[in-house]
Chain A
Amino acid sequence: MGLTITEKILRDHCQNKKAVAGDFIMAEIDKCLANDITAPIAIEVFEKVIEDSKAEVFDSSKIILIPDHFTPNKDVASAAQCKILRDFATRHNITNYFEVGRGGIEHCLVPELGLVKPGEVFIGADSHTCTYGALGAFSTGVGSTDLGVAMALGKCWLKIPESIKFIYSGRLNEWVSGKDLILYTIGEIGVDGATYKAMEFTGDTIKRLPMADRFTMCNMAIEAGGKSGIIEPDKITTSYLDSFKKLKDGFYCSDKDAEYDDIIDFECANIEPQIALPHSPENVKSISEVHNMKIELDQIVIGSCTNGRLVDLRNTAKILKKRKINKKLRCIIIPGTQNIYLKAIERGYIESFVNAGAIVSTPTCGPCLGGHMGVLAKGEKALSTTNRNFQGRMGHVDSEIFLSSPVVAAASAIKGYITSPEYL
């Protein structure tokens, strides 16, 4: 019996050279990541693990610390959290610490800097660490204790997951993106449809899908309960990696006779832009149906680790250029990294946003989790390109969040209610 890409990567990162799906392993990790919410606890755990020993961090170049959630510090308490990361980075000579102004949203920044590569095992104390499966790495979210231990041992316990193969075929309609494919998928299988499983995205549609859309799809694997999302590296991966002049090793692929827990086919020709309605990412409807509901909005958020990449801003700018944001709502646009921000300035996107009446923020996770930079009042409705629309996540427990792609969010920002660019 053959192996999946996920089984092959994990087998090559542990002692048990016969390990298959279902086996527990202590995986050797290539990199680990934490942010200003999860790192303070991880650092405390690390100190406890090495207490009374001569142990140090397992490798100071393989630990990545990115303060991005409550940054720039929203108050004294969050400033104290960030200071813990900064001090730890200095004390242990952590080269991959990214200060505010020199970094960005972790899952946009890490691939942009070439800090994750195909075939690697990457763990992050952030649930959306599954993003990097887009490059053909095994990448998954863990907790702070896992991360603290990983910083000491360079290892993490894992159960090799069974895989579900998703085969997407056919050409995408205009205005349909990776975000719509993943929302559609979660709508079909539910928020626990892939619990504990690796979601392997394949098919001719995926073979043509740009890297930014692949990141978006893998990013939301967790919203279906997935342990990881993964896409076999191909020509699109290679050309993305070429921009970093990185070696193209570590290209694993699944065997033809690999064993899958399930194989699910999606025909993409009939998929429209998708909207997740409150309060769950599985509560998905097509735009034609939601457009008729005329759902009036108070706020739009375009950005996040799901949709804060340059392509997302380019698509947003195409729609907002020479138009005005509806006077009933506010539109917040957040470039994912400083590099994306700068390119968006050079290409005139930011000017289009400001002229349209949107506000542009420094890179931050802020509003996605109701942290800061766009918290909702009681009864307010937001359309957001983020990944989670749980009750109260963006602010008051009686506010509502709808999820969409950037083009749908931009068109809705013009109209004032949820609509698609085709109705502009």
Chain B
Amino acid sequence: MIGKVIKYNLKNINTDLIIPARYLINSDYDYLAQHCMEDLDRDFVEKVKKENYQILIAGSNFGCGSSREHAPSAIKASGITCIIAPSFARIFFRNAINIGLSIIEFPDIGKIKTGDILKIQFEEGLIKNTSTAEEFQIKKQPSFLQQIISARGLINFARKQIE
């Protein structure tokens, strides 16, 4: 994939910042997407649309806190297709894999900034920053998780087991 970066250089961005609980009375993803990240950045949703950002970069322990799947789902519905962070909270991590949102653990986020265009080659385990001509190796997901990823999420993976 190729996409433009929006970056928040902040550790421990929690699920209450990603989607505040006051909106969890509704599980419609387009509704949730309207409020995505609003307690961190009021203009997040508008920026993503206007600038066509597709890659979200953030500090370590991204998505800590609640098990609410509404968090990765709201990010996905806002137009973001891939999140890159040095580490993820574990329930957020599995929720992202399960709903088919790309997620990359990458320590050197200091080398990428808002507005950079990244070319991500998942199969080769490579990120190319086309804005700086730098290349980075990324760790491939374990083969077990690859099966869920290539089924585009856990629902399709599970349906195969039912059949």
A145 engages B91 (CB within 8 Å)? no
B24 engages A152 (CB within 8 Å)? no
In the assembled complex, which residues on chain B have CB atoms less than 8 Å from the CB atom of A227?
A: 90
A49 engages B158 (CB within 8 Å)? yes
The interface-forming segment of A38-46, A199-207, A348-356 is: A38-46
Contacts A146-B154, A153-B158 given: A24-B144 contact, CB under 8 Å?
yes
Please indicate which of the listed interface residues B67, B142, B162 has the most CB atoms of chain A within 10 Å of its own CB. Answer: B67
**Residues 202-229 of chain A, each 1 if its beta carbon lies under 8 Å from chain B, else 0:** 0000000000000000000010010100
In the assembled complex, which residues on chain B have CB atoms less than 8 Å from the CB atom of A157?
A: 94, 144, 148, 154
Please indicate which of the listed interface residues A49, A75, A152 has the most CB atoms of chain B within 10 Å of its own CB. Answer: A49
Q: Which residues of A in the span 48-92 have a Cβ within 8 Å of any Cβ on B?
A: 48-51, 53, 55, 69-70, 74-75, 77-78, 81
Check if A414 is an interface residue, CB within 8 A of chain B.
no
Q: How close is A132's CB to chain B, nearest CB, in angstroms?
A: 15
Contacts A49-B159, A53-B163, A152-B158 given: A144-B69 contact, CB under 8 Å?
yes
B162 engages A143 (CB within 8 Å)? no
Residue of A nearest to B86 (CB): A192
Contact of A225 among B17, B89, B144 (CB under 8 A): B89
Contact of A127 among B67, B70, B161, B162 (CB under 8 A): B67
The interface-forming segment of A176-184, A243-251, A288-296, A386-394 is: A386-394
Check if A96 is an interface residue, CB within 8 A of chain B.
no
Distance A50 CA – B68 CA, assembled complex (angstroms): 23
A142 engages B12 (CB within 8 Å)? no
Distance A181 CA – B140 CA, assembled complex (angstroms): 38
Distance A81 CA – B20 CA, assembled complex (angstroms): 17
A392 engages B155 (CB within 8 Å)? no
Check if B129 is an interface residue, CB within 8 A of chain A.
no
In the assembled complex, which residues on chain B have CB atoms less than 8 Å from the CB atom of A111?
A: none
Please indicate which of the listed interface residues B24, B25, B87 has the most CB atoms of chain A within 10 Å of its own CB. Answer: B25
B61 engages A225 (CB within 8 Å)? yes
In the assembled complex, which residues on chain B have CB atoms less than 8 Å from the CB atom of A104?
A: none
Residue of B nearest to A375 (CB): B22
In the assembled complex, which residues on chain B have CB atoms less than 8 Å from the CB atom of A191?
A: 12, 61, 64
B39 engages A225 (CB within 8 Å)? no
In the assembled complex, which residues on chain B have CB atoms less than 8 Å from the CB atom of A124?
A: 67
Contact of B94 among A48, A142, A369, A392 (CB under 8 A): A142
Residue of A nearest to B26 (CB): A77
B144 engages A41 (CB within 8 Å)? no
Distance A137 CA – B159 CA, assembled complex (angstroms): 29
Q: How close is A68's CB to chain B, nearest CB, in angstroms?
A: 13
B155 engages A127 (CB within 8 Å)? no
In the assembled complex, which residues on chain A have CB atoms less than 8 Å from the CB atom of B39?
A: 391-392, 397
Check if A37 is an interface residue, CB within 8 A of chain B.
yes
Question: What total count of A-B pairs have CB within 8 Å?
Answer: 134
In the assembled complex, which residues on chain A have CB atoms less than 8 Å from the CB atom of B69?
A: 38, 41, 125, 143-145
B67 engages A126 (CB within 8 Å)? yes
Check if B99 is an interface residue, CB within 8 A of chain A.
yes
With an 8 Å Cβ cutoff, the count of chain A residues facing the other chain is: 53
Distance A234 CA – B98 CA, assembled complex (angstroms): 37
Residue of A nearest to B98 (CB): A145
Check if A196 is an interface residue, CB within 8 A of chain B.
yes
Q: Which residues of B in the span 64-114 have a Cβ within 8 Å of any Cβ on A?
A: 64-70, 73, 87, 89-91, 94-95, 98-99
Check if A371 is an interface residue, CB within 8 A of chain B.
yes
Distance A146 CA – B94 CA, assembled complex (angstroms): 9
Check if A149 is an interface residue, CB within 8 A of chain B.
yes
Q: Which residues of A in the span 126-183 have a Cβ within 8 Å of any Cβ on B?
A: 126-127, 129, 141-146, 148-149, 152-153, 157
A196 engages B90 (CB within 8 Å)? yes
Please indicate which of the listed interface residues B87, B148, B155 has the most CB atoms of chain A within 10 Å of its own CB. Answer: B155
Residue of A nearest to B88 (CB): A195
A141 engages B14 (CB within 8 Å)? no
A149 engages B12 (CB within 8 Å)? no
Listed by A's residue number, 12 A-B pairs whose Cβ atoms lie within 8 Å are: A41-B27, A129-B67, A142-B67, A145-B153, A146-B154, A149-B154, A192-B61, A192-B87, A192-B89, A369-B24, A369-B66, A391-B39
Task: Give me the interface of A with B, judged by CB distance under 8 Å.
Answer: 24, 37-38, 40-41, 44-45, 48-51, 53, 55, 69-70, 74-75, 77-78, 81, 124-127, 129, 141-146, 148-149, 152-153, 157, 191-192, 195-196, 222, 225, 227, 280, 369-371, 388, 390-393, 397
The 10 residue pairs across chains A and B that have the minimum distance between CB atoms: A24-B144, A143-B95, A77-B25, A369-B21, A192-B61, A145-B98, A143-B69, A127-B67, A141-B67, A144-B69
